[in-house]
Structure 1
Amino acid sequence: MESVFITLVFVLAGLVKGVTGMGLPTVAIALLSLRMAPLEAAALLIVPSSVTNVWQLAAGPALYPLWQRFRWTMLAICAGVAGAAWLGAAAWSGMVLGLALAGYGLLGLTGWRLQVARRHQRWAGPLCGAATGLMAGVTGVFVMPVAPYLQALDLDKDDLVQALGMAFTVGTLALAGMLSLRGAWHVAAAGASLLALIPSLAGMWLGQWLRGRMPPALFRRCFFLALLALGVHQLARVL
């Protein structure tokens, strides 16, 4: 039954990724954490998240210019993950995960967007990156706050998708390094993560098929409602 549950989680997470272009690790961690610790769930995500994010990163038109613009943000993500490893905050990871999921769900439902002036991006980017890395190192979720931050900038659609892919790729690789150092990323975990790639890709294919057959706004609303509900449930479990 455990393997069936994990397979269904990755199919659903891949479906969300296929429809919206993001959300695979967020949905997978949120659901898997109902049965296991967040960082144990994160170990299963390394291969599916890496493959899908590298594809998203490579598909865009302006990789090097985006790296030049956001390199300090990306390096700060790595520093944040390292900081989380040093803190060893596993005891309160469930609460942080619940707050992150509920906050992201509320942010998506309200449609509120940050506005960050260009003159503030020099310091706001690294600060956001460090916070994202810290969040990833504690919960395995690396969408907050980097996704809302990048959405607040003057990026066109293709650049935004590629910049998100870059941030998620860097976060995944940094998290893999941290888990390896802590002994949570080993041969058995790597094999299970590789197997999880199959349902993830199947879900992505299904999501891409659904994208043209249902209103994306409706799907996103359901997605954020589900994250809010999972976040509240996670908080109820740990409080």
Structure 2
Amino acid sequence: MVWFVLLVFAVAGMIKGTLGLGLPAVSMGLLTLVISPFQAAALLVVPSMITNFWQLFAEGRVLQLIRRFWLLLAGIIAGSTWSIFPALGQSSFHSEALLGTMLALYGIYGLFAGNMPDLSHHEKWLSPIVGYLGGALIVATGVVVIPVVPYLQSLHLKRDDLVQSLGLAFTVSTICLAIFLQQNPVENMPMDYRMSLIALIPALVGMWLGTRIRYRISEQKFRRVFFIGLVMLGSYMLLQQLSRF
């Protein structure tokens, strides 16, 4: 089991290093094949937090982005506190089915998203709504992807601002997830901080390898394979849960 966890985080880190995204989605998707969503989310906390901090503080302008996206961040906090979805640990069926749906939708979005419409003119009222849904889904699935990532991309930010904005949203989401997991423990499933810290090592090694791979292969082809893999993994998880219903 330990070696499987280390391998998953190494692969997820490599994908994040190559594409700049994918660590939580890949980790949760693969880990929940052998352990519960609650346990998988607990293992994800430290690697996700450190890599998100890395992504957030790689450049300046953090305070400016906080001032711009405070409504989005407030929505994430509200959604993680008062989620409309079954939370991790409350229902394994619902958590895994939601996670599978999220991964499949994320993969489909990545494969077919073209030029995103510019939603920046509607940012003030969309940000809290998108943030709430993202926060509600992270405590239900352990992953914040839909709708936060497409929304931030639709604002047509500069490349560096987009990367930092994603890092900001992911960081706040991971903090909310960690607080939720600590305050809502599941019987016989304690928070394994030691294993989560150990998982950080292969994740960082994987990120380093991913940055090396980025310059040796076609990013477009790698991205396509990655999103196809997410669609297949998410669909498998969803169908597996439906077959048990």
TM-score bracket, normalised by the shorter chain, equals over 0.9
Provide the rounded CA distance (Å) in 1 between the counterparts of 2:224 and 2:234: 15
How far has the Cα of 1:85 moved from its partner? 8.7
Q: Distance in 1 between matches of 2:111 and 2:120?
A: 26
Q: Please tell me the residue identity of whatever aligns with 1:136.
A: I
Pick aligned residue for 1:157 from 156, 159, 164:
159
Structure 2 partner of 1:69: 68
The correspondence of residues 1-239 of structure 1 with structure 2, limited to 5 A, is 2-84=1-83, 88=87, 90-91=90-91, 92-183=94-185, 189-239=192-242
Q: Which residue type is aligned with residue 70 of structure 1?
A: F
- With the length of structure 1 as denominator, give the TM-score of the two structures: 0.94
- Structure 1 Cα separation of the partners of residues 125 and 118 of structure 2: 11
**Residues 13-46 of structure 1: CA deviation (Å, up to 9, x unaligned):** 0001100111101100010010112221010010
In angstroms, what is the RMSD of aligned CA positions? Answer: 1.7
1:84 partner SS? coil
Per-residue Cα deviation, 1:74-124 (whole angstroms, up to 9, x for no partner): 111111111239954632111111110110101111123542433311111
- Decide whether the 8 Å contact of 1:85 with 1:178 is kept in 2: no
8 A Cα contact 1:85 1:137, kept in partner:
no
Q: Are the counterparts in 2 of residues 61 and 158 from structure 1 also a CA contact under 8 Å?
A: no
Given that 1:113 and 1:151 are in contact with CA atoms closer than 8 Å, whether structure 2 keeps it comes out as no
Letter in 2 for 1:48: P
- With over 3 angstroms needed to count, the CA separation of the structure-2 counterparts of 1:27 and 1:33, relative to structure 1, is same
Partner secondary structure for residue 82 of structure 2: helix
Moved more, 220-229 or 59-68: 59-68
Q: In structure 2, what residue type is equivalent to 1:165?
A: G
Pick which of 198-207 and 186-195 moved more.
186-195
1:173-231 deviation digits (Å, cap 9, x = unpaired): 000000000125x9861111000001101111110110000011111101101100011
Give the secondary structure class of the aligned counterpart of 1:183.
Answer: coil
Q: In the superposition, relative to structure 1, how do residues 131 and 176 fare at CA in structure 2: closer, same or farther (>3 Å)?
A: same
The 1-side partners of 2:10 and 2:83 are apart by: 29
Question: Identity of aligned pairs, percent?
Answer: 43
| Cα distance in structure 1, aligned partners of 2:108 and 2:117 | 18
Once the two structures are overlaid, the 10-residue window that deviates more, 21-30 or 60-69, is 60-69
CA deviations 1:53-94 (Å, max 9, x no partner) are: 001100122111111110110111111111239954632111
Distance in 2 (CA, whole Å) between partners of 1:148 and 1:127 is: 13
Contact 2:72 2:127 in 1 (8 A): yes
Structure with greater helix percent: 1
CA distance in 1 between counterparts of 2:120 and 2:153 reads: 13
Q: What count of residue pairs does the alignment treat as equivalent?
A: 237
3-state SS, counterpart of residue 169 of structure 2: helix
Distance 2:220 2:13 in 1: 18
Runs of 5+ in structure 1 lacking a partner?
Answer: none
